Every structure is written in structure tokens, then in C-alpha cells.
Amino acid sequence: MPTIDQTRILIIATDGFEQSELFEPRDQLIGARAAVELASPEKKPIQGMKHDEKGATITPDLTLDDVRIEDYDGLILPGGVANPDTLRTNGKAVDLVRAFVRSGKPVAAICHGPWLLVEADVVSGRTVTSWPSIRTDLSNAGAKVVDQEVAIDGNLITSRKPADIPAFVSAFRKAVTEGVTAAA
């Protein structure tokens, strides 16, 4: 298995991402020397949020159309309300999420990020967690929903909120470098 400094990680986000859920995992992975790229529908700065206040912006490295799944070892889906709500109506984003999950590569979604997993139809029979307001959506899509800081089921890693980021990043790093097969 690769060490973290031999991995390439993709983050998919758009306007309205929760700032801590994109920047903290990204910064921790870059600090560990992983190559991390951000993809969005367009290659223009996207707006982060600190809960309901505007935060920092970041310019994507590439567009969703430029993503080649074989170039990456894992995928991160940050939350925020508007970010995943917008992306789940983007066919390319949904197709990429579905393809990453089906590839067996680690896919980590936090807070509202699991909405994309619902839209990609990849949660049925899987154990996941999320922000409380989307747990009904996950359950209706056939997932077993738990309330814990990180849920790992095969290659899916999910967390509830920004306070869970340390456990979220730790589980993702382990999955990328050691593989994932554990159930929550």
C-alpha cells in the first residue's frame, strides 16, 4: 500500500462549502505531503462558508469534466448546505461520486456531503452518518444511519460535523494508505 506522500486525493466542492470541512482535511493531507486537488463545475473561485457567514474562497485546480478517476487514490466530499445541494443536481458530479464508490477507492463525506452519496445511489445497505437534517434522506435511500463521529463501511467514510474532522481525516488517511473494509 502507498504511504500518504505517494497518494493523490481529490476534493469536489462548489460555492457554499463549509470552510473547515474543505480546508482542514486539505491542509492536513498536504501537510502529510499528499497531492491534493480541488475540482468544481467551473474553474473560478468558489465561496466557503463559516456556518451561515461567508468565509474564504478557493480556486479549483480543475473542472469536474477534467477529472480522471484513475489519477486519484481517494475522494473527499465536504459539507455545507449549499455545496452538496448544488452538486447533487450536477450530473457530472453525481457520476464521479458513483464511479469513485464503485471503484473501491476511499470516499469520505462529512456533514451534508453524504447528500451526494444519496444522489449517486450508493448508500443502500451501507452504514453511514451525517448532519442530523439529512439522516432521513440517507435512511430513505436504504442506509443504516448511526450517530457517531465517523462511520466506516467498506470504502465509505462519513462524519457528522466539523468537530469530527480529526477522526474523519484519520480514518480517510488510514483507508487511503492501508485499504478499507471495516463496517462501522
The residues carrying an active-site annotation are 111-112
Cell 485499504 locates to 179
Rounded CA separation 29/142 (Å) = 31
Rounded CA separation 13/18 (Å) = 10
Residues 6+ apart with CB under 8 A from 162: 18, 20, 21, 24, 110, 111
For 109, the enclosing helix (H) or strand (E) is strand 107-110
